[in-house]
A and B are shown apart, each in its own frame.
Chain A
Amino acid sequence: MTEVTMTVNGRKVRRDVPDETLLSEFLRESLRLTGTHVGCDTTQCGACVVHVNGAAVKSCSALAVALDGAEVTTIEGLAPNGELHPMQKAFNDNHGLQCGFCTPGMIMTSVDMVEKAKAAGKTLTEAEIRHGLEGNICRCTGYHNIVKAVAQAAQEM
């Protein structure tokens, strides 16, 4: 067991966890933040994406103990004042989700993609959005409406 301290969604948390605990398990089991999902065991699906120190990370591929002191934002922390983030709103506006299982990871990846594009002063094309979503699998939507949602949010963010 190792003690880990993180700031998760703006709150400081401290837990003792086994060294092999993945960040995804830490969030889901230790903190009971079950919005972060686990859809695979080979870091392929992106259902588990959260932000670590401001960048999108597949939480199934990071060890909790390696992230001592990190700032983590999960889907539950994206709308801190209860007002939806433009990306969340865009997914609802454009029917960018069906079963909702891939959605937290999709939204966290998309927010990071748009923020990076903004920082670089770029407008995302459809092809760039599709490329940016390559690490996130959705089995329900066929991506059409997810791509539309990201494009809308990119205008509004």
Chain B
Amino acid sequence: MNVGIGARVKRKEDKRFITGKGKYTDDVRVENQAYAAFVRSPHAHAKVKGIDKSAALAMEGVIDVLDGGQLTGDGIGNIICGWAVTSKDGSPMNMGPWSALATDRVRYVGDAVAVVIAESQALARIAAEAVEVEYEVLPAVASAAKALAAGAPQVHDNAPGNLIFDWEIGDAAATDAALAGAAHVTEISLTNNRLSPNPMEPRSAVAIYDAAEEHYTLYTTSQNPHVARLVLSAFYNVAPEHKLRVIAPDVGGGFGSKIYIYPEEITCLWASMKTGHSVKWTGDRAEAFMTDAHGRDHVSTARIGFDANNRITGFKVDTIANFGAYMSLFSSAVPTYLYATLLSGQYDIANIHANVRAVYTNTVPVDAYRGAGRPEACYLVERIMETAARELGVDPAELRRINFIRAFPHQTPVIMNYDIGDFEANLDQAMAAADVAGFAARKAEAAGRGKLRGLGYSSYIEACGIAPSAAVGSLGAGVGLWESAEVRVNPVGTIEILTGSHSHGQGHETTFAQIVAERFGLPIENVAIVHGDTDKVQFGMGTYGSRSGAVGMSAIVKAMDKVEAKVKKIAAHVLEASEDDIVIEGGEVKVAGTDKAMGWHEVGLAAYTAHNLPPEMEPGLKESAFYDPANFTFPAGTYICEVEVDPETGTVEIVQFTASDDFGTIINPMIVEGQVHGGIAQGVGQALLEQVVYDDDAQLITGSFMDYAMPRADDLPSYNVNHASTICPNNPLGMKGCGEAGAIGSPPAVINAITDAIGNNNLAMPATPLAVWKAIQAAG
């Protein structure tokens, strides 16, 4: 059976999950286990005047109650944003202080003020209720636009007017001139709705302090345990890196929200040292809504100009991005370098200018959520293209075709250099698979049943493979974004791959093993993937931004190149042949054109017995590599959504969802399709169902699954997923990344379809039945 590149290999990791043997952080329980519960602010904005711990401390089984004064007093550092973005006037971004436990002021509902450590989880929670915090309530603001208005409540003293930065990209004058000279200008204003990532596993931490060694171990729900260790050491001063081990075991989904190092993990580590107990915290869903970084929340206006031949001449964008109460780890990069750099979409646009204002509000911090900036860009570009097509009276597919970039590499006016793609191939494939030709008949048939049928396109592009370290460094990133890998061939010939990528659903234990099995002709069972433990894997940047394939696997390939070179040297020496004549095939290392061969395991054994190695060669067979990408990768494609709307109720049914993606080389189509399915579901969730709501006092209204509509099985269709690929020229396997495409490409396709069906272009996400019904009424 073929298990190599392109094979639909069933997942090796499934067995433990389907039998209930997965090991997630909350499943970890150690000796001397104590439990943490946080005392959280019920106010969106308040001064902390005093904390009375006496009632809680008097409870039997309460070990301690700790507060922000003690935490900062012990030198625990403020939580930081790791990407410096500079305002257009040259001033640095205004980052306000964020202590893991608030000291004098709370800035959003859920901001942690103190922590109770107790002998049971139930007791810790009861005791947390008994901690009395005296607040002086301050006026609060939830909306970014309102936060910018004169007289708005000030969230941080060092960010006047709540402005974190006022940033721009592109040539404003040239873009204005292009729009002034355009034959037609289309204008649009829209909101990209605020979302809660909601991985099904709540965040959790188990911190263990070994006083004799002054050493900490942290089990945590992280997408990037090494980054967590780095930040905890270098910035939060919890412990130096060699005294801190971070383990991210099985992690139940992340979608961005488990990239960041949150107050709870920091506090648990510190509290384990303070109390001498191992400290465990597992959030409940209410805490997830209240503390996991939210996503999106942009308000934008945009203008796009066309010449008389319907070619785009200029595109101008103004965006306000809500950052919440504090700057989360990558927050500043999301609405800038991950957003405005993708505003060219799939189109040849000579002039683009975008201005982005980042704003503090009294809400949960906002950071990367599946797609991170690229969905916001795609939604804006693809909504305005569809709108323009309607205004111009041009078929929306045709308007896209007229403007597609056709020659590569293509330098956009907003930094990105697209390396390769064939946008028309994806459009054609999607149109054929969706039977666009038959749509008119289906629409007429639906009309006979009293239903409004509509069809919407979205031709998305994104930048993945994040990212060339020097490039992101020049743009303000505080870290390099390479990946590392180690290939260990054991004396019996089995292989362990140690990777800095982290799997929390992506199936690395299978796909990473596939590329090794293919390369050395070994059974996939002989390859094990090791990840998620800073004591085992030397370093890694983790998994986000669809980077595990394009960056993580590239590092494995580089390490395999080194292993292969050494294997060939050993075999050439033993078999008395020239290195150039050695080939590795089907688990054998052979001299080409002869019957001289060694088994793969024999080479492994030879390397470790070291009885007969080439002169000067070190024993052993283990190689490592760091891979720094040469460019971003550019997954792209076209999605077509077909809906039926019930005009009586406003209910939307997605009757067909068709995708054509270009992900470059695909290692395992089954897993890639699964990623697309999940991404589309999240995008459809954003388009139809999901919305974080705050009231005017910045109280969180959507604090549970009763109030926040998650997509469920009967809200969604089956998906028609197709691939038309171009091979990425910038990494050894030709991969582009597939993890975010579905969430990026699908929202505009859904809204374009509904607005097509109802004949009113003015419809915001989420398109709930009420919103759609109102839009139908407004259209008359």
Binding site for B on A (CB under 8 A): 18, 20, 28, 32-42, 44-45, 47, 74-76, 78-79, 84, 88, 91-93, 95, 97-104, 107, 126-127, 129-131, 133-134, 136-147
Contacts and interface: CB of A to CB of B under 8 A. Distances in A.
A84 B15 CA distance: 9
A19 to B, nearest CB: 11
A156 B670 CA distance: 22
Contact of A79 (B19, B26, B284): B19
29 contacts: A37-B201, A44-B704, A45-B705, A75-B20, A76-B20, A76-B21, A91-B14, A92-B18, A95-B674, A98-B678, A99-B250, A99-B504, A100-B17, A101-B199, A102-B200, A130-B716, A131-B713, A131-B714, A134-B713, A134-B714, A139-B198, A140-B678, A141-B674, A141-B677, A142-B682, A144-B674, A145-B674, A145-B677, A147-B718
A137 B20 contact: no
Interface string B499-511: 0000011110000
Contacts of A47: 200
Contact of B713 (A42, A129, A140): A129
B753 interface: no
Interface in B21-53: 21-24, 26-27, 29
B719 interface: yes
Q: Which of B255, B712, B718 has the most CB of A within 10 A?
A: B712
Contact of A39 (B29, B202, B286, B711): B202
B61 to A, nearest CB: 12
B10 A142 contact: no
B394 interface: no
A39 to B, nearest CB: 5
Given A95-B671, A98-B678, A139-B200, A40 B704 contact: yes
Contacts of B506: 98
Contacts of A133: 712-714
A104 B20 contact: yes
B11 interface: yes
B252 A101 contact: yes
A96 to B, nearest CB: 9
Contacts of A131: 713-714
B716 A75 contact: no
Nearest to A148: B718
A140 B505 contact: yes
B253 interface: yes
A126 B27 CA distance: 34
Contacts of B680: 142
Contacts of B678: 98, 139-142
Given A76-B20, A97-B17, A99-B252, A42 B285 contact: yes
A25 B21 CA distance: 17
A11 to B, nearest CB: 15
Q: Which of A18, A74, A92, A107 has the most CB of B within 10 A?
A: A92
Interface in B223-263: 250-253, 255
Closest 7 CB pairs of A and B: A35-B20, A101-B252, A100-B17, A142-B681, A99-B505, A98-B505, A75-B20
B285 A74 contact: no
Contacts of A78: 19-20
Given A95-B11, A98-B507, A39 B200 contact: yes
A90 to B, nearest CB: 9
A141 to B, nearest CB: 5
Interface string B678-718: 11111000000000000000000000111000111110101
A142 B19 contact: no
Nearest to B676: A142
Given A133-B712, A137-B200, 10 more contacts: A34-B23, A34-B27, A35-B19, A37-B201, A39-B202, A92-B10, A97-B18, A100-B22, A134-B712, A139-B199
B122 interface: yes
Contacts, number: 177
Contact of A144 (B250, B285, B677): B677
B705 A40 contact: yes
Contacts of A127: 714
Nearest to B706: A42
B200 A42 contact: no
Given A101-B24, A131-B714, A139-B255, A92 B285 contact: no
B18 A107 contact: yes
Given A98-B678, A100-B252, A100-B505, A144 B18 contact: no
A16 to B, nearest CB: 14
Contacts of A41: 284-286, 704
A104 B678 CA distance: 18
Contact of B712 (A74, A98, A137): A137
Interface in B190-204: 198-202
A97 B11 CA distance: 9
A44 B681 CA distance: 18
Nearest to A36: B20
B639 to A, nearest CB: 13
A137 B713 CA distance: 8
B716 A143 contact: yes
Contacts of A38: 26, 202
A62 B255 CA distance: 31
B287 to A, nearest CB: 9
Contacts of A76: 19-21
Nearest to B721: A144
Nearest to A42: B704
Nearest to B20: A35
Contacts of B201: 37, 39, 99, 101
Contacts of A98: 253, 505-507, 674, 678
A144 B718 CA distance: 5
Nearest to B679: A142
B199 A99 contact: yes
A33 B674 CA distance: 29
Contacts of B16: 100
A139 B674 contact: no
Nearest to B716: A143
Contacts of A136: 712-713
Nearest to A103: B17
Contacts of A74: 20
A35 B713 CA distance: 22
